[in-house]
């Protein structure tokens, strides 16, 4: 007697949001329209020219890209924003203080290093809530991209509210 095949996952509308913690060491997190994390990673590029070429290919590979949420500024953030706009995706630029205010308690975001330290455990809870593969290690840039993405899917309305235990404010920021 063979077991019945597993039920297919529930259908979710297409569309994805890529969250980027900008730098030559970049954190990336891709979310689906259901508000759940699909994948995340940290990527290092040796220089701006290689990053520019990689961004083009990375965004091209995401067929259903609707949004790119970029944390950071300057010329590296412009590479992401320009390529996203060229591909017809909306661009949401966010300062670290915006998502940190929504997701971290004041005592957790008092300093930049403190906020980075608290981002890891919260990102792991997002990974678990989303059903994404658990990391063996999680770099702070990937953790922050995960949290930028959670804030962004909530901000664009893909999540009506933050899941219990994954945030503390309203999306107005």
pLDDT digits (tens), the chain, 173 positions: 444 333 334 444 679 999 999 988 999 999 999 999 999 999 999 999 999 999 999 999 999 999 999 998 899 999 999 999 999 999 999 999 899 888 888 888 888 878 888 888 999 999 999 999 998 889 989 999 999 999 999 999 999 988 888 876 544 44
Residue 35 sits in a domain whose CATH number is: 3.30.420.10
Whole-model pTM over 0.85: yes
Q: Are 168 and 102 in contact (CB under 8 A)?
A: yes
Q: Is 169 among the domain residues?
A: no
Domain count, the chain: 1
Parent domain of 117: 16-155
Q: In the 8-state DSSP scheme, what is residue 106?
A: G
Q: Is 68 among the domain residues?
A: yes
Who's near 80: CB < 8 A, 6+ residues apart?
Answer: 20, 22, 55, 68, 70, 91
Q: Is 172 among the domain residues?
A: no
pLDDT of residue 13: 60
Q: Is 73 among the domain residues?
A: yes
Lookup result for tokens 């997190």: 29
Q: Is 173 among the domain residues?
A: no
């Amino acid at each position: 007697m063979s077991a019945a095949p597993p039920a297919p996952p529930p259908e979710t509308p297409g569309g994805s949001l890529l969250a980027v913690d900008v730098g030559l060491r970049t954190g990336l997190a891709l979310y689906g329209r259901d508000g759940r994390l699909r994948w995340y990673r940290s990527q290092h590029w040796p220089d701006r020219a290689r990053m520019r070429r990689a961004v083009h290919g990375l965004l091209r590979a995401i067929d259903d890209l609707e949004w790119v949420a970029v944390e950071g500024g300057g010329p590296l953030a412009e590479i992401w924003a320009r390529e996203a706009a060229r591909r017809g995706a909306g661009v949401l630029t966010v300062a670290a203080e915006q998502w940190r205010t929504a997701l971290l308690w004041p005592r957790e975001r008092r300093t930049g290093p403190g906020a980075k330290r608290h981002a890891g455990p919260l990102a792991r809870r997002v990974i678990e809530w989303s059903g994404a593969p658990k990391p063996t290690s999680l770099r702070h840039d990937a953790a922050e991209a995960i949290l930028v993405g959670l804030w962004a899917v909530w901000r664009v309305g893909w999540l009506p509210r933050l899941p219990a235990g994954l945030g503390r404010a309203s999306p107005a920021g």
